[in-house]
Structure 1
């Protein structure tokens, strides 16, 4: 019997990055019985890895479980909103000593596993650094889009004038009169990434202590012809680019398999089946202040009233997953008589037309797959965008940082939704949000958004599951 080949995956524990690795693990478990799967990350992802492993074994009884390696006693990638919004720490989120600790941990795991192939999260700087430094066979697996990875390599300096600088609210295509402003934004971004003293000290410290040259986000601005980058996107669903390097391989959306809502939460399944539902889910990181919740509530009241006034068929209801603080604690009342939200939505609460919950037991993707969701209100995170696109659900996007602005522009460019806060982002106001919801759900363009969303979902289905495409590339490169 031939010896099993070993695949090692190195990723941050933040779900926006890690989900595609978990999905890929599942695909490998179903297609490659002669492959051992090893995944290294920080402690918060352990439970999700165990769940993914159990799901894979349940679906494929002959598969081997995922071997998890915890990266110990080191600084995890900072996953707070302020850090994600700022490309200075994002390009080098560690101090020099923290980076050395992480690199030594990665070295330990690589030496222990002795992988035949390693896949590294494109935002996991220690993993990128050590994979290159140790000379192992490796590839990058990224949730980013073609625009994100190929933009610095576009001809005619298109990076400066053709595409909105990340983290800005500039539209695509950029109007002529805004091109100088975009050039300024790009120059500022480059300045802070290149001349950030803390990052430079960290890089120098790593080179001095372990002899490695740091591989961080700056490296993606240089051609990497011999390094394959598997990408969870497709040119069909992105801004057009003039040049795609051969080593950047679009695999299509990489989605985790999910259990049906009926199986996970039968009561929610019954409730969703009552009528069309607006699903508000702003991801795992953003939080909503009471003032913002009030603005949202006012927009929802206006939407529901408009639905009834127009005499639309059936019931319209709202499922709203609301995170009030960074750590998920309760900071303000929702249903208490006389509180700000109850004064706005009290009658809707009483009729169970609007549910505001801290957590939804079922995965967002499986909620969207029920066929009962008429609109996904999300923050423009990559996972949220792809989940809605893959299920043919129109979107209203409330971007909060960095590339979430790109996804707000993407839904408008693709004709599958609206930006819900174009003049107030990263905050939002009732008037703008209500207008966007109305256009997507009951307005004259609503049918157009629905048809276009279903059309793209069909195109994605024809391309096949992205996780299976990644698995085939892995098997072909071991």
Structure 2
């Protein structure tokens, strides 16, 4: 019997990137049970990998479990330290640590760890996270057979290759609040923002020192985000998006493969949390989840609560027969600890400790308030739920713009992001839930959800491409 082919997945431990790797692992276990799957990342993701492996074995008993390899080093979020990104040209300076958050020493430690894991596994094919620089660097340096798996969009990786310098004038620069399409009178300021971005990326002394240190100590040339500004025709990239849900582009590189949204197969809520299912079944629900890497300060929690009150008041004035309720995933600190008391501030709250779930079979979630992360955006689109987007990172502005462009939601805070005020948030919630265009937004959301279903599961598409290339 010939030995099993080995598939190695290299990803960050942050769920925004890691979820599509876990989803693809599940699909790969069903597509070809004879593929041996290895996943390397940092310790925080170990439990999720174990859960994904157990779920995969339950669904596909003939498959092998996922073997986890812990990467000992500095993970992305620890290096980044979560800087706030104000909505002006200054936000572009903060894009620098985001694109190269590591010191030279941290980069070398991470690169050596990736080298160790690759040498131990000896994979037939390696799938690499496009945002984790040490993995990109070592995959290229070691000349292994590799591909990219990315939750990002065609615009993110194909933009520099678009004709007529569209990078400057057609698409909003990252981290800006400019709309899409960009009005003629705002094109000059967008061009200026892009020049700022290029300047900061090229003359980033921190990144240059880190690159030089890595080359000196390992002999490897760093593969960072600047590399994507040049065509990579021989490097296949699996993207978790379909052109139907993205900004239009004129040139679609052949090496970029559109898989469609890649979602983890998580059980329906009534299977994993009957109490939460019963609570959701009581009536229409607004679901607020601003991501795993962001937290809500007390002043912003007050703004959110006041906005919710505005929505509920408007709901009652519309003489709605059913009671409106809000499911709010309130994260007060980076480590999940309680930082301020919300129970003695006039709030009427119930504690609902919900499990991770995929399908709200009650159909009662009528609006998703999210931070514009790829997973949150696709989850709402997947279920046909209108969105209200509060972007908190420079790269999440893109999905806020996309929600408005597709007609499935509202960007709350283009003038104040990443912060928000009760009045503007309350107005956006009112527009999406009970406003004059609420029905139109709901119908469009349902239409795109049906279209996504017809295109098939993105994780299965990705798995088929992997099997074909391994």
Tell whether the structures are fold-level matches, with TM greater than 0.5. Answer: yes
Alignment length (residue pairs) = 461
TM-score by length of structure 1 reads: 0.94
Report deviation, 1:356: 6.3
Structure 2 stretches lacking a partner, 5+ long: 86-90
TM-score by length of structure 2 reads: 0.96
- CA deviation map 1:125-152 (0-9, x unaligned): 1111111111111000000011111111
Structure 2 distance, partners of 1:2, 1:263, is 40
Equivalent residues of 2:20, 2:262 under 8 A apart:
yes
Q: Map of 1:178-197 to 2, 5 A cutoff?
A: 178-197=186-205
Report deviation, 1:83: 7.7
- CA deviation map 1:235-266 (0-9, x unaligned): 10011111111001110000000011112111
SS at 1:6 equivalent: strand
Structure 1 distance, partners of 2:210, 2:286, is 46
After TM superposition, the structure 1 stretch with the greater mean CA deviation from structure 2, 79-88 or 380-389, is: 79-88
Does residue 67 in structure 1 map to residue 32 in structure 2? Answer: no
Does residue 410 in structure 1 map to residue 410 in structure 2? Answer: no
Aligned residue number for residue 124 of structure 2? 116
- CA deviation map 1:396-451 (0-9, x unaligned): 00111212111111111000011122322111111111111111111111110110
Q: 1:370 to 1:362 in 2, by over 3 A?
A: farther
**Aligned Cα root-mean-square deviation (Å):** 1.4
Aligned residue number for residue 352 of structure 1? none
Structure 2 distance, partners of 1:290, 1:98, is 33
Equivalent residues of 1:3, 1:34 under 8 A apart:
no
Report deviation, 1:308: 1.4
SS at 1:62 equivalent: coil
Aligned residue number for residue 54 of structure 1? 54
Q: Map of 1:250-269 to 2, 5 A cutoff?
A: 250-269=258-277
SS at 2:37 equivalent: strand
Equivalent residues of 2:84, 2:393 under 8 A apart:
no
Does residue 319 in structure 1 map to residue 318 in structure 2? Answer: no
Equivalent residues of 2:273, 2:354 under 8 A apart:
no
Aligned residue number for residue 207 of structure 1? 215
Report deviation, 1:315: 2.0
Structure 1 distance, partners of 2:219, 2:356, is 46
After TM superposition, the structure 1 stretch with the greater mean CA deviation from structure 2, 88-97 or 466-475, is: 88-97
SS at 1:13 equivalent: coil
Structure 2 distance, partners of 1:151, 1:108, is 34
Structure 2 distance, partners of 1:272, 1:296, is 20
Aligned residue number for residue 76 of structure 1? 75
Structure 1 stretches lacking a partner, 5+ long: 350-354
Structure 2 distance, partners of 1:26, 1:292, is 37
- CA deviation map 1:446-472 (0-9, x unaligned): 110110000000000001000000000
Q: Map of 1:435-474 to 2, 5 A cutoff?
A: 435-474=427-466
Structure 1 distance, partners of 2:191, 2:248, is 19
Q: Show structure 1 runs of 4+ deviating over 3 A.
A: none
Structure 2 distance, partners of 1:134, 1:83, is 36
Does residue 42 in structure 1 map to residue 34 in structure 2? Answer: no
Q: 1:92 to 1:173 in 2, by over 3 A?
A: same
Q: Map of 1:135-284 to 2, 5 A cutoff?
A: 135-284=143-292
- CA deviation map 1:381-401 (0-9, x unaligned): 110000000000000001112
Q: 1:473 to 1:261 in 2, by over 3 A?
A: same
Q: Map of 1:66-105 to 2, 5 A cutoff?
A: 66-72=66-72, 74-78=73-77, 80-82=81-83, 86-105=94-113
After TM superposition, the structure 1 stretch with the greater mean CA deviation from structure 2, 403-412 or 325-334, is: 325-334
Does residue 377 in structure 1 map to residue 369 in structure 2? Answer: yes
Report 1 or 2 for greater relative contact order, CA contacts < 8 Å, sequence distance ≥ 6. 2
Structure 1 distance, partners of 2:22, 2:444, is 29
Structure 2 distance, partners of 1:362, 1:464, is 23
Q: Map of 1:298-447 to 2, 5 A cutoff?
A: 298-336=306-344, 339=345, 342=346, 345-346=347-348, 349=349, 355=350, 360-363=354-357, 365-367=358-360, 370-447=362-439
Equivalent residues of 1:320, 1:356 under 8 A apart:
no
Structure 2 distance, partners of 1:236, 1:390, is 13
Equivalent residues of 2:128, 2:136 under 8 A apart:
yes
Aligned residue number for residue 17 of structure 1? 17
Structure 2 distance, partners of 1:102, 1:285, is 21
